[in-house]
Structure 1
Amino acid sequence: MTERETAIGAAAERLLAATAERRPCAPVRDLLGPVDVDGAYQVQRRLVDVRLAEGAVVSGRKIGLTSPAVQRQLGVDQPDFGVLFADMDVSAHAEVPMSRLLQPKAEAEIAFVLAADLDGDDLSPADVRAAVAFAAPALEIVDSRIAGWDITLTDTVADNASSGLYVLGEARLSLDAFEPRAATMRMYLDDVLVSEGDGAACLGDPLNALLWLARTARAYGEPLRAGQVVLSGALGPMAAVTPGVTVRAEISALGTVSATFSDKEAS
């Protein structure tokens, strides 16, 4: 086993232990370095394989770090992606369970549900638009196994793009009826405005983010498939959430999506 392979294995074990023990861990960049993105995706793949072996079902992907504001918050300069599992979807829950979270923050996003695979050799913007069945308003509840959110790009990629849970609102609009780039967003914590932005904040257009993901996922050998949910990236800065708070996002034509967090601390 090479030194790099040993480092990848050690990073995966550190993140798995943090998840199992419900205790944030030190960053993994001391093992991988700050710029080994390919190695970080190999760590992510190991974490995903563990979940699949446990019976988890992939429901889609999430795109992270698409908003310049979020990039500034985390000190990174490019997007990343992670894997969504069906049990991350808490849309039907009366309350978001804090017991499943360590350091949660909320982001308002546009979710796309795909009607067709995106696995072609030379995917175009037209291919991506045609593959979308509908858009929906979404809250992504990001989380980090890294203590204090002390992350570089390598850390967050390895940690499944700082994934947590997600909530989809009720609206379903085709792209004939809704233009993602033109969307405006306001997000509130208990009626206090904490974040606002628009579709242009997401790589210039959430569909640009979807195209980036489709090409990147295919390059890593796991193309996007029909029926999957894609969280396309934050439309504005994320905000930390605490037990008992209600998060509500208003996304122009898509309407409102909200979630109330349980008043029980993670245990």
Structure 2
Amino acid sequence: MDSQLIKRLGDELYQALRDFRTLTPLTDREIGITIEDAYHISLRMLSRRVEGDGEQVVGKKIGVTSKPVQEMLGVFQPDFGFLTDAMAYPDMADIPIAGHLISPRAEGEIAFRLKKDLVGPGVTEADVLDATETIIPCFEIVDSRIEDWKIKIQDTVADNASCGVYVLGKNEVEPRDYDLPNLKMRIYKNDELHAEGLGSAVQGNPLTAVAWLANTLGEFGIPFKAGELILSGSLAPLIPVVAGDRMSLEIEGVGGCSCTFV
């Protein structure tokens, strides 16, 4: 795909983000678009946010890691994207939908805060654990700029892995004290239990998911940096939310996180 087309599609996605509207799937318009093309489109979209709007990259995310999410979206391999400071909300935040999000869905995740750089390829689960300072309960609120969530893997990678915003819990804990694949998460919608999941839902182990992301981005020359936040993927199916919904989650022995949509 030529550079002018990559630039145009990245600009379209950026403008859709700012206008809170959707686009026809890129894969319906550009036959033969590759994941590498999609990644470069996402970088163009990101550059508009960073250079034009003053946002700062504060981490990375992996998505579509669990089987329930893959089946829900019809995408059967992980996606990847970037987190900026403008996406962050604190625990118990009110998150506006009108004028901010399009068709949001909540994901319960385990976030990793890094204390060391990680540069793939060749990153192992042990490397990830060694580089992690803390893990944190987290909601990622995904939100697609692609019409009706009709996405293929190229669409979601181009659209910054369908990232909207994220919410971090107050508790940050030492990951070496926990059996990460067997951490149990309960997710509540409007105070009723809505879903449950284990850490093993994300590629068998959240450490495996983070290592995959480090190695995948490493192939594009993108490192993980000390201090960054890495979202490791949803432990349960995505949950659509509308104004008035309150979401909360609890990870046994770790802590919780909550937010309300307004």
TM over 0.5: yes
Greater mean deviation of Cα atoms: 118-127 or 163-172: 118-127
Greater mean deviation of Cα atoms: 114-123 or 102-111: 114-123
Give the deviation of 1:125 after TM superposition.
1.9
- The answer on whether the counterparts of 1:11 and 1:32 sit within 8 Å (CA) in structure 2 is no
1:63 and 2:62 correspond: yes
**Cross-structure match for 2:233:** 233
**Cross-structure match for 1:127:** 127
1:221 and 2:221 correspond: yes
TM-score, L = length of structure 1: 0.93
Give the deviation of 1:8 after TM superposition.
2.2
- The answer on whether the counterparts of 2:89 and 2:167 sit within 8 Å (CA) in structure 1 is yes
Give the deviation of 1:33 after TM superposition.
3.4
Q: Secondary structure at the match of 2:210?
A: helix
**Cross-structure match for 1:19:** 17
Where do residues 1-150 of structure 1 align in structure 2 (5 Å cutoff)? 4-33=2-31, 36-54=34-52, 55-91=54-90, 94-98=93-97, 99-119=99-119, 122-150=122-150
Give the deviation of 1:39 after TM superposition.
0.4
- The answer on whether the counterparts of 2:92 and 2:258 sit within 8 Å (CA) in structure 1 is no
Give the deviation of 1:6 after TM superposition.
4.2
What amino acid does structure 2 have at the position aligned with 1:83?
F
Distance 2:121 2:248 in 1: 39
- The answer on whether the counterparts of 1:34 and 1:154 sit within 8 Å (CA) in structure 2 is no
- The answer on whether the counterparts of 1:116 and 1:131 sit within 8 Å (CA) in structure 2 is yes
Q: Secondary structure at the match of 1:116?
A: coil
Give the fraction of aligned pairs with identical amino acids, expressed as a percent.
40
Give the deviation of 1:211 after TM superposition.
0.3
Number of equivalent positions: 260
Distance 1:115 1:216 in 2: 20
- The answer on whether the counterparts of 1:114 and 1:226 sit within 8 Å (CA) in structure 2 is yes
- Classify 1:118/1:26 alpha carbon distance in 2 versus 1 (closer, same or farther; 3 Å): same
Greater mean deviation of Cα atoms: 170-179 or 74-83: 170-179
- Classify 1:195/1:93 alpha carbon distance in 2 versus 1 (closer, same or farther; 3 Å): closer
Give the deviation of 1:170 after TM superposition.
1.1
Give the deviation of 1:193 after TM superposition.
2.4
**Cross-structure match for 1:265:** none
**Cross-structure match for 1:189:** 189
- Classify 1:251/1:30 alpha carbon distance in 2 versus 1 (closer, same or farther; 3 Å): same
Question: C-alpha root-mean-square deviation of aligned residues, in Å?
Answer: 1.6
Alignment gaps of 5+ in structure 2: none
Greater mean deviation of Cα atoms: 175-184 or 218-227: 175-184
Distance 1:31 1:158 in 2: 13
Q: Secondary structure at the match of 2:93?
A: coil
Q: Secondary structure at the match of 1:83?
A: strand
- Classify 1:120/1:80 alpha carbon distance in 2 versus 1 (closer, same or farther; 3 Å): closer
- The answer on whether the counterparts of 1:110 and 1:180 sit within 8 Å (CA) in structure 2 is no
1:155-175 alpha-carbon deviations (Å, 9 max, x no partner): 100000000100011111112
- The answer on whether the counterparts of 2:9 and 2:41 sit within 8 Å (CA) in structure 1 is yes
Greater mean deviation of Cα atoms: 140-149 or 25-34: 25-34
- Classify 1:75/1:130 alpha carbon distance in 2 versus 1 (closer, same or farther; 3 Å): same
- The answer on whether the counterparts of 1:32 and 1:40 sit within 8 Å (CA) in structure 2 is no
Distance 1:18 1:250 in 2: 34
What amino acid does structure 2 have at the position aligned with 1:15?
L
**Cross-structure match for 1:158:** 158
1:101-155 alpha-carbon deviations (Å, 9 max, x no partner): 1110000000000000002553222111100000010000010111211111111
Distance 2:135 2:4 in 1: 41
Q: Secondary structure at the match of 2:253?
A: helix
- The answer on whether the counterparts of 1:25 and 1:147 sit within 8 Å (CA) in structure 2 is yes
